[in-house]
Amino acid sequence: MRLVLIDYGSGNLHSAEKAFALMGRYAGVASVEVTADPDAVARADRIVLPGDGAFPACRAAFDARDGLREALDEAVGRRGVPFMGICVGMQMLADRGHEHTVTPGLGWIGGEIQAIAPEDASLKVPHMGWNDLTLRQAHPVLDGLATGDHAYFVHGWQFVPSDPATLLASVDYGGTVTAVVGRDNIVGTQFHPEKSQQVGLRIIRNFLDWRP
């Protein structure tokens, strides 16, 4: 199995590479390749898109990699390769983001990226630290997890899905905040699985074992 972790200049690649390599030992992963090379992406058996920072900056950095979008469309759209977006990499699955300016997303899962606005004014934004998951839909990537398991978040904007069926897990932060979205062979986590201890490692292992 060939796993590609896309390096487009935005993301905590070192920690993510270590976590995916660790779980890959149990899932038959021959290599974890950190690259934005379109040929490597098009040939991959599993693809991970990380992302840290502002949505427009991440999208601009992504678009600056010639051939990357086309390679993803080939692998994920046509070949059905399992794909995971992490943090802003998950947000880029949406139709568009509204951070600073309106920026188009990949449009793979319908929805908008909107600012977190807690009903409780004492809650600070960004949403930072550990929070308990609420599982909304059964999904192979969430196997072995339960409502109340916690994950590590760092974000001020959230994915608001247009179809409730694509909301797989959420957290409460002065209102419902999206934690995991997914459809078909695509899944995204707002939290960082590589920083979420055993819960995160379980999600990574589930993703590597996933056969959508």
Active site positions, annotated: 87, 192, 194
176: burial class by Cβ within 10 Å (0-12, 13-18, 19+)?
A: middle
Alpha carbons within 13 A on the beta-carbon side of 91: 33
Pair 114, 98: CB distance under 8 Å: yes
3-state secondary structure of 49: strand
Measured CA distances, 179 to 4, 126, 139, 155 (Å): 23, 14, 13, 11
3-state secondary structure of 68: helix
Pair 141, 187: CB distance under 8 Å: yes
In angstroms, rounded to a whole number, what is the distance separating the alpha carbons of residues 85 and 108? 11
The phi and psi torsions of 60 (rounded to 5 degrees) equal -65, -40
